[in-house]
Amino acid sequence: MSQLNELSIAEYLQTHPDFFQRHQHLLDDLYVVSKQQGTLSLVEVQLERQRKRIQELEQELAILAKLANQEQEIFLALMPLQQQLSHCKNLKQGIQAINQWAKNWELKQSKILLFTDQWQKQQDLEDIHWVDRKAFEIIRLERFGLRRFYLGEMTNREKSLLFLPEELPIGSVACCLLGAETAQNATALLLFTAHDSRHFHNGQNTQFLKHLVNIVELHLLRWLAEFAV
């Protein structure tokens, strides 16, 4: 089936929400093939999606509850972002929400870059959302070592790999590896930039970023679960 036909069907179903009410037999007759669970009916698929969403919300609440008990200031700073991300349906919306949140904190920009070897390419995600792992390996070895965070300045060559010309100039960056316990197999990058070269610097406490990364990672999995390699 062509992409145009698939889009037409999707648009028709979205604009006619009563379709399955008028054709209820299709709910039992149509099946979706799942890699994990075999063949499922549409009703079973919907229930499974709802169960997964409940599990995601429980994880989010657990993180926030722990944060509220231990570090109230960080909790209060991250709570508005968490609420916004919960309403985002895809990666683009999530990036926009994080970027606006960062600007409210007087940062220049925030963005997420996906490693090309960890996710299936998507037609609605332009090249600006991707980064090649081999090219990034130079930065990882030079700046990260075994850590998951780098805070400080970057060379022009490093900036050209991670940022567009229109996103420059940049004074300093906070670069966070997402989706892995070790630096070598991260799935994405979360980047924050500042005008001031002294805003982010080596030796800064990364506790806030650790909590922020935990929240963003949960939503990243939700937005991109079906595109994981």
Compute how many other C-beta atoms are within 10 angstroms of the C-beta atom of residue 162: 20
Q: How much is the mean pLDDT over the chain?
A: 80
Q: What is the pLDDT of residue 1?
A: 46
- Domains of the chain plus CATH, in order, are 1-72 (no CATH), 88-224 (3.30.450.40)
Q: Quote the CA–CA distance of 80 and 83 in Å, as a whole number.
A: 5
pTM exceeding the 0.75 threshold for the entire prediction: no
Residue pLDDT, tens place only, 101-139? 999 888 999 999 999 988 888 777 888 999 999 999 989
pLDDT classification of 159: cutoffs 50, 70, 90: very high
Q: Quote the CA–CA distance of 135 and 80 in Å, as a whole number.
A: 35
What are the residues whose beta carbons fall under 8 Å from the beta carbon of 146, sequence distance 6 or more?
Answer: 182, 183
Q: Quote the CA–CA distance of 40 and 52 in Å, as a whole number.
A: 15
pLDDT classification of 86: cutoffs 50, 70, 90: confident
The answer to whether residues 94 and 112 touch, using CB atoms and an 8 Å cutoff, is yes
CA distances from 114 to 85, 104, 109, 121, 137 (A): 18, 24, 17, 10, 14
**Mean pLDDT (whole number) for 204-219:** 85
**Mean pLDDT (whole number) for 98-102:** 93
Residue pLDDT, tens place only, 24-70? 666 666 665 555 555 555 656 566 666 776 676 667 666 656 655 55
Q: What is the pLDDT of residue 160?
A: 93
Q: Quote the CA–CA distance of 193 and 175 in Å, as a whole number.
A: 9
Strand-pairing partners, residue 33, are: 39
Could you give the 3-state DSSP secondary structure of residue 205? Answer: coil
Could you give the 3-state DSSP secondary structure of residue 201? Answer: coil
pLDDT classification of 193: cutoffs 50, 70, 90: very high
What are the residues whose beta carbons fall under 8 Å from the beta carbon of 19, sequence distance 6 or more?
Answer: 12, 13
Could you give the 3-state DSSP secondary structure of residue 2? Answer: coil
What are the residues whose beta carbons fall under 8 Å from the beta carbon of 201, sequence distance 6 or more?
Answer: 151, 152, 172
In the chain, pLDDT over 70 holds for what percent of residues?
A: 69
| Helix or strand (DSSP H, E) at 71 | none
Q: What is the pLDDT of residue 228?
A: 66
**Mean pLDDT (whole number) for 176-203:** 86
Q: What is the pLDDT of residue 71?
A: 52
146 burial level (CB within 10 Å; 0-12, 13-18, 19+): exposed
Q: Quote the CA–CA distance of 31 and 41 in Å, as a whole number.
A: 4
**Can you read off the two tokens belonging to residue 111?**
């963005």
> HEC states along 116-142?
CCCECCCCCCCHHHEECHHHHHHHHHH
